[in-house]
Amino acid sequence: MEEKVEELIDIYKQQIYSLCYKLAKTKEDAEDIFQETWIKVFSSRHQLSCVENYKRWITTICVRTFYDFYVRRKGGKIAYWICFIKRMVEKSISQMK
């Protein structure tokens, strides 16, 4: 399973970093979210055999990681970010179909 995670990182790292940057708007925050996303993917590697669409699965983890990141760091602007995240998720999912 660890090898599969490494393969997924190789395949999707550019796309996921781009998404992190689009969401976070700063290099530092994007890097934090990017790293945390892959930590969560690695921690969930036991689920890989059940995943039908790796890109969608990793994108969902990334967006949720972004949400968690901003809830912790920028709690006062939650309503704005919830709407923003919802739009981004819907857009990302529609592009994967």
Interhelix angle 27-43/2-24, rounded to 10 degrees, is 150
Proportion of the chain in helix, strand, coil states, percent, rounded to 5: 90, 0, 10
pLDDT in tens, 7-64: 999 999 999 999 999 999 899 999 999 999 999 999 999 999 999 999 999 999 999 9
Interhelix angle 2-24/78-96, rounded to 10 degrees, is 130
Class of domain 2-96: mainly alpha
Rounded to whole angstroms, how far apart are CA atoms 75 and 36? 19
pLDDT in tens, 57-97: 999 999 999 988 887 776 656 656 676 777 777 777 777 75
Q: What is the pTM of this model?
A: 0.76
Rounded to whole angstroms, how far apart are CA atoms 85 and 89? 6
Domain extent listing, the chain: 2-96
